[in-house]
Structure 1
C-alpha cells in the first residue's frame, strides 16, 4: 500500500510540474488550443467532445495535481491501518479525474459528467466511515448538489437550439439571446449550490464528517471551487444587474460564515466556515468585474487552505480524533513544527504581509474600495475581513496559548507523524512565496492603486480590530458558555449559521417525508394497490384457476357442450 501511495504521488507530481510549465508557456505567448472530436450527430445537433487548453485551465490543473499528490502522501500515514486504504486512494484519484473532466472541456455535457462525478465521489468519501452521522452528511451533500445538477441538465436541454453544447462559441455574440441568458442564470444556480452560497450553505460544514485528507482536497482546490471556476468561464455573459444580485448573496455568505466561525468549537468546522467565507470573497470580487483577481485568489486560497486542513488533521490524529479546540491548549510545546505550519497558513488566511494571502486579499480589498458599490457593501466586506482575522486569532490562541486540557498520559510529538510533516513541508514554502510569484506572472502590468489615507489603511485597521476581537472572544469564553446569559442564545444562533441547516434542510425535508408517507399509505398501499397490482393478481389467479378447471375436465365439458348443442338444434328445428 505504501508503494501504491508513492506511485500516485510521483505521477501526480510529474503532471503538476509539466502542466505548470505548460501554463507559463501558454501565458507568455497568449496561446489557446482547441481539440475537437465528433462523437455523433443527431438531427443537426452534434455531440462533440472538446478539450480547451489555455493558461487558466492548465494552471488550475497543475495546482489540483500538486495538492492532490501531497495529500495522497499525507494519507499514507493518516489512514494507516485502514482496511480499505486502497479503495480510499482510488476514490481520491477518481475525484481528481472528475475535476480534470470539468476543467478541460467547455462542453456542458462533459462539464455535467465531471460535475456529477464530483458529487458521486464526494458522497462516497463523506460516507467513508459508514456511520449514521457520515451517512446523513453525505446525503445532505449529494441532495443539495443535485439542485445544481438539475440546473445543468436544463441548460443542456436549452442549448439544443444552438446545435452544440460548447458554450465558449456563443458567449460573446449571443449575450442578448433569451436562451443564453436562461442558461447563464441556471449556471449561476449550479455554481451557488456547488460553492455553498446562501441559501445552500448548510452542506459544507456537514461534509466535515469525511476523513481529514478528503476535507483538505475537497475544500481547497476541487469540489467547492468548481462553482467559482464555472462562473469565471461564464463571467463575460452576465450583465451588471445579475452580478449585483449575486454580490449580495456572496457578501452575506462571507459575513455569515465569519460570524459563525467565531462561535464554533469544532476545529474542522471552523476551517470549513473559513472556506465558505473565502468562497464568498472570490464571488464578491468577481461580481465587481475582477474575474482574473478572483481566479488569482482561488489559486492562492487552495494552497493555504490545504495546508491548514493538513495541520489540523495532524493535530486531531495525535489527539486521538478529538476535534474540540477546548481540548487543544498548549499544543505548540509538543508539536512545534505542525503548529508553525498551522500558524503560517493561518496568517496567510488573515492576509498578513508578506505571505501569499496578502497579495490577493490586499488587492481584493483595495479594488473593492475603488469600485462604486455603496457604503453597505463596503462595510459588510471590511467587517467580514475583520471577522476572518478574529476567528484565526481565536483558533491560534486556543491551540498555542490556552491551557493544556488533554489527557494526562499522552504522547504528543511531531515525531509521530513524519510522513504527514513531509506533505505539509511541501506546501508551507509555497504558502510563503507563491503569492508574490503568481502576482508577478499573472498580471502583465502591476496594480498601482491610489486611495485616501483612511481607505488605504482600512485593511490594516480591520486586521488589528479583528485580532483584538478574536483575543477578547477567546478570553470571555465563560460568558457565552453560560446558558443563563443572553449571549449564549446569540452565540448558538450564530454558530448554527443563522439557522441555515434548519431552514434549508431540517425544516424542508420533513414535508417531503410526510408527503411520501401519505402517498405510500393512500396510493401504494391503498387505492392503487387495490385497483392495480393486487386486484389484477387476484383476477388473473381466478381466471387461471377457472381455465385449469376446464382443462382438467375436458371430456365432461365436451359431452356437456355436445348435449347443449343437440338441445339447441332441437329447439330451433
Structure 2
C-alpha cells in the first residue's frame, strides 16, 4: 500500500500544479504580462550566481500540459507497473524527468537550459534501460550518445554567447539577429534541437527508445523529451525567419515527416508505429516553425501531446492484456473484448488523422491551409500533403488490424477492460483529445483569421486524408504485404521499413571502424604483446622461482644431507685458506 500511495500522492500533486499553472497562464495571456524573475543563489566577493526564470503564457501553458499528462501517466503506472518491486524508483525517475522538463521550459538562460537539457538526457537513459536486458542497454546507449551531440552543440552555443556579456539569450534575439555570432548560435541551437527532436539524420534513437516501459513512452513522446527541441526553437524563432537556417530546417523537417510516415506503413510493432507517428508530427512542427509560424507550431505541440499520450496509454493497455505481445498481426476483434480501450485508441487515432472537430483537426488543418497560402516550392508542398496522407494510411491500417478480423492470439485468452486505474487515465485524456483543440484555438488565436483559398486547395487536405484512409484499409484488407518476396517490392519495403537505412548509417556505419580498430588493439596489444612481455611473462618467471623455492624447502632427507655436506666442505675450504 505504501508503494501505491506514492503514485496517488504524486498524481494529486501534479494534477493540482497543472491546474494552478493553467490558471496563471490564462491570466498572463489575457493581460499580456510576462514575469522575468532573477534569483540570486549566492554572492561571493561581488561575483553572483543568478538563476533566471521566464513566466509567460507560453511557458505556463506548456507546463500545465506537461504536468497534466505526467500526473495521468503516474496514475496509469500504478496499475501498469503494479507487479514491479521497484515502483518507488520508477516514480522518482519519472518525477525527476518532469522536473528537468520544467527547468527547461521556464529558462531564458542557456546555462539553466543546459541543466534541464542534460537532466532529460540522463534520466531518459535510466528510464530506457529500466527493464535491464541487452536490447534496453543498446537502446539506452544509442539514445544517450545521440543526445550528447546536441549537448555539445548547446555547450558551444554557451561559449559563443560570451560575446554578449550574458547568457540570457532572450535579450539579444531581436537586437543582434544580423550578427555573425548570433548566426553561429542559431546553427548550434538548431543542431541541438534536431538531436533532441530526432530529425534526420538523428532519427534512429526514437524507435529504439521504445525499449522503455510504456508509461515512459507516453510521457517522452507526448510532452517531454522529444518536444524539448521544438520548444527551444520556438523561443529562438526570430533567428530562423527569412534565413538559410530556416530553409535547411524546412527541408529536414519535411523529409523526416515523409520518411517516418512511409516507415510506419511497413512496421508491425504497435509501439514502433506510434513512435514513428510521433517522428512524423515532430517533422510537421519543425517545418511550420521554419516557415515562421511559432504560435502554430506551439498549438500543434500541445494538441499532439494530448492524443499521443492517449495512443501510448491504449497501446500499453492492449500489450498488458495480450501477455506482452506487440505485433499487430496477432491482434484482432479487440473491440469485442476491450471496448473502452479501443474506443479511446480510435478517438486518438482519428485526432491524429485530423478528423474534423477533434484536437488534431484544429492544428493540422490550419497548418496545411497556411502552407497552401504561403510561397512554398512544389517539393515542400508535396512533402506536407503526401505525409498527411501517409499518416491517415498507417492510422487506418492500425484500426484494421486491431478492430476487424478474427482473433489471432492464444485460444481462451482472457482480455478485458477491468483495470480502472488505466481506464480513468485514458478517459481523462480522451475528453481532452476531443475538446482540447477547440479550447486551445480560442485561447491562442482569439481573433479569427480569414483563410481564403480556391475550392481545390481548400478541399485538398480532406481529399488526401480520404485517399490515405481508403488506401491504408484496402492494403491491409487484401493482405498486400510488401515484405512478401514474390513481389518486386521487397527491397523498397525493406528500405522504407528501416527508416531509409538510417540506423545502419548513423550507428553501425559510424561505429564499425572504431570498433574494428578497438578489436585489433585489444587482441594485438592488450591481450597480445603486452601480455607476452608484461603480465604473463612476469607471472611465469615468478611461478618458476616459487617452484624452485618450494623444491628447496621440501625438507626431505636427501636435500638436508646434501646441504650438510656442502656446509662441511665449505668449512674445510675456509679452514685451509686461513
Task: Assess same fold via TM > 0.5.
Answer: yes
Structure 2 partner of 1:210: 212
Give the direction of change, closer, same or farther, for the CA distance of 1:367–1:40 in structure 2 (3 Å limit). same
Q: Secondary structure at the match of 1:196?
A: coil
Give the 5 Å matches for 1:48-197. Answer: 48-197=50-199
1:235 has 2:260 as partner: no
Structure 1 partner of 2:318: 315
Q: In structure 1, how many angstroms separate the alpha carbons of the residues matched to 2:514 and 2:126?
A: 24
Q: In structure 1, how many angstroms separate the alpha carbons of the residues matched to 2:150 and 2:357?
A: 38
Matched-pair contact (CA < 8 Å) for 2:483–2:494: no
1:410 has 2:413 as partner: yes
How big is the shift at 1:488?
2.5
Q: In structure 2, how many angstroms separate the alpha carbons of the residues matched to 1:528 and 1:487?
A: 53
Q: Secondary structure at the match of 2:37?
A: strand
Give the direction of change, closer, same or farther, for the CA distance of 1:111–1:519 in structure 2 (3 Å limit). farther
1:293-315 CA distance string (max 9 Å, x none): 00000000000000000001000
Match of 1:291 among 294, 297, 320: 294
1:304 has 2:307 as partner: yes
Q: In structure 2, how many angstroms separate the alpha carbons of the residues matched to 1:41 and 1:521?
A: 54
Matched-pair contact (CA < 8 Å) for 1:220–1:302: yes
How big is the shift at 1:491?
1.4
Structure 2 partner of 1:226: 228
How big is the shift at 1:123?
0.5
Give the direction of change, closer, same or farther, for the CA distance of 1:44–1:464 in structure 2 (3 Å limit). farther
Match of 2:400 among 393, 397, 402: 397
Q: Secondary structure at the match of 1:173?
A: coil
Match of 1:340 among 343, 355, 358: 343
Structure 1 partner of 2:458: 456
1:472-499 CA distance string (max 9 Å, x none): 2212435424223222322121111111
How big is the shift at 1:166?
0.9
Give the direction of change, closer, same or farther, for the CA distance of 1:529–1:335 in structure 2 (3 Å limit). same
Count of residue correspondences:
536
Matched-pair contact (CA < 8 Å) for 1:112–1:149: yes
Structure 1 partner of 2:327: 324
Match of 2:252 among 245, 249, 253: 249
Structure 1 partner of 2:366: 363
Matched-pair contact (CA < 8 Å) for 1:6–1:73: yes
Q: Secondary structure at the match of 2:236?
A: helix
Q: In structure 1, how many angstroms separate the alpha carbons of the residues matched to 2:250 and 2:91?
A: 38
Q: In structure 1, how many angstroms separate the alpha carbons of the residues matched to 2:48 and 2:408?
A: 64
Of 164-173 and 189-198, more deviation after overlay is shown by: 164-173
Matched-pair contact (CA < 8 Å) for 1:329–1:400: yes
Give the direction of change, closer, same or farther, for the CA distance of 1:31–1:523 in structure 2 (3 Å limit). farther
How big is the shift at 1:161?
2.4
How big is the shift at 1:15?
0.2
Of 176-185 and 387-396, more deviation after overlay is shown by: 176-185
Give the direction of change, closer, same or farther, for the CA distance of 1:438–1:154 in structure 2 (3 Å limit). same
Q: In structure 1, how many angstroms separate the alpha carbons of the residues matched to 2:144 and 2:57?
A: 31
Give the direction of change, closer, same or farther, for the CA distance of 1:520–1:48 in structure 2 (3 Å limit). farther
Give the direction of change, closer, same or farther, for the CA distance of 1:528–1:155 in structure 2 (3 Å limit). farther
Matched-pair contact (CA < 8 Å) for 2:350–2:358: yes
Q: In structure 1, how many angstroms separate the alpha carbons of the residues matched to 2:312 and 2:441?
A: 24
Matched-pair contact (CA < 8 Å) for 1:60–1:299: yes
Q: In structure 1, how many angstroms separate the alpha carbons of the residues matched to 2:147 and 2:508?
A: 16
Give the direction of change, closer, same or farther, for the CA distance of 1:156–1:39 in structure 2 (3 Å limit). farther
- TM-score w.r.t. structure 2 length? 0.89
Q: Secondary structure at the match of 1:477?
A: coil
Structure 2 partner of 1:546: none
1:199-249 CA distance string (max 9 Å, x none): 000000000011100000000000000000000000012242211111000
- TM-score w.r.t. structure 1 length? 0.90
Give the direction of change, closer, same or farther, for the CA distance of 1:483–1:58 in structure 2 (3 Å limit). same
Give the direction of change, closer, same or farther, for the CA distance of 1:136–1:172 in structure 2 (3 Å limit). same
Q: In structure 2, how many angstroms separate the alpha carbons of the residues matched to 1:507 and 1:389?
A: 33
Matched-pair contact (CA < 8 Å) for 1:265–1:326: yes
Match of 2:491 among 468, 484, 489: 489
Q: In structure 2, how many angstroms separate the alpha carbons of the residues matched to 1:292 and 1:239?
A: 13
1:433-452 CA distance string (max 9 Å, x none): 11101101111311210001
Give the 5 Å matches for 1:380-395. Answer: 380-395=383-398
Q: Secondary structure at the match of 2:53?
A: strand
Q: In structure 2, how many angstroms separate the alpha carbons of the residues matched to 1:315 and 1:437?
A: 30
1:20-56 CA distance string (max 9 Å, x none): 0000000000000111134568999964310110000
Q: In structure 2, how many angstroms separate the alpha carbons of the residues matched to 1:479 and 1:341?
A: 27
Give the direction of change, closer, same or farther, for the CA distance of 1:95–1:478 in structure 2 (3 Å limit). same
Q: In structure 2, how many angstroms separate the alpha carbons of the residues matched to 1:76 and 1:479?
A: 38
Structure 1 partner of 2:556: none
Q: Secondary structure at the match of 2:38?
A: strand
Of 158-167 and 247-256, more deviation after overlay is shown by: 158-167
Matched-pair contact (CA < 8 Å) for 1:307–1:427: yes
1:409-440 CA distance string (max 9 Å, x none): 2111112x211001101111110011101101
Match of 1:36 among 35, 38, 45: 38
1:162-190 CA distance string (max 9 Å, x none): 22111101111111222221111100000
Q: Secondary structure at the match of 2:427?
A: helix
Q: In structure 1, how many angstroms separate the alpha carbons of the residues matched to 2:525 and 2:158?
A: 34
Structure 1 residue ranges without an equivalent (≥5): 539-573
